[in-house]
Amino acid sequence: MRSWVELLLVCVLLTGCPTAEAIDVEGDCAILTWENYGKGELRNWCTGCHSSRVTAANRNGAPTDVNFDDLQSVRDHRERIIARATGDAPTMPLVGGGDAEDRARLHQWLECGAP
């Protein structure tokens, strides 16, 4: 089974980036964790609007009950994040977000249950 690092290397060498479907989710679940990936990724792209510390006026329309302040809140909204921020036509974040590799990695982490 290939790790996401190997898949990214293939992406660089062949200029064909893996989609979320191409990642071996079951084999790679031990690689990405809240501490080494999720916390920073969501801080970079999501919590500017999806945090309980952000006032309603500064949330850019984000529902006030959808916050990613901690791992449990991310797990609670995992399916919604997958639907809105990964795949072929993501709608979040509004500012654009990461590239295809970043989104594939986010999808992988969430499919693993956000460990």
C-alpha dihedral, 75 to 79 to 81 to 86, nearest 10°: 130
For residues 94-112, average pLDDT:
93
| Helix (H) or strand (E) run with residue 94 in it | none
**Residue 4 · residue 32 · CB < 8 Å:** yes
- Whether 61 shows a pLDDT value over 70: the answer reads yes
DSSP class of residue 97 equals: -
What mean pLDDT is predicted for residues 58-69?
95
- Pick from 8-12, 46-50, 79-83, 89-93: least confident: 8-12
Closest CA to 19 of 103, 93, 80: 103
**What is the count of structural domains for the chain?**
1
User: How high does pLDDT run on average in the chain?
Assistant: 82
Average pLDDT score over residue span 57-81: 96
Does 23 score more than 90 pLDDT? no
Q: Give the domain extent around 107.
A: 4-111
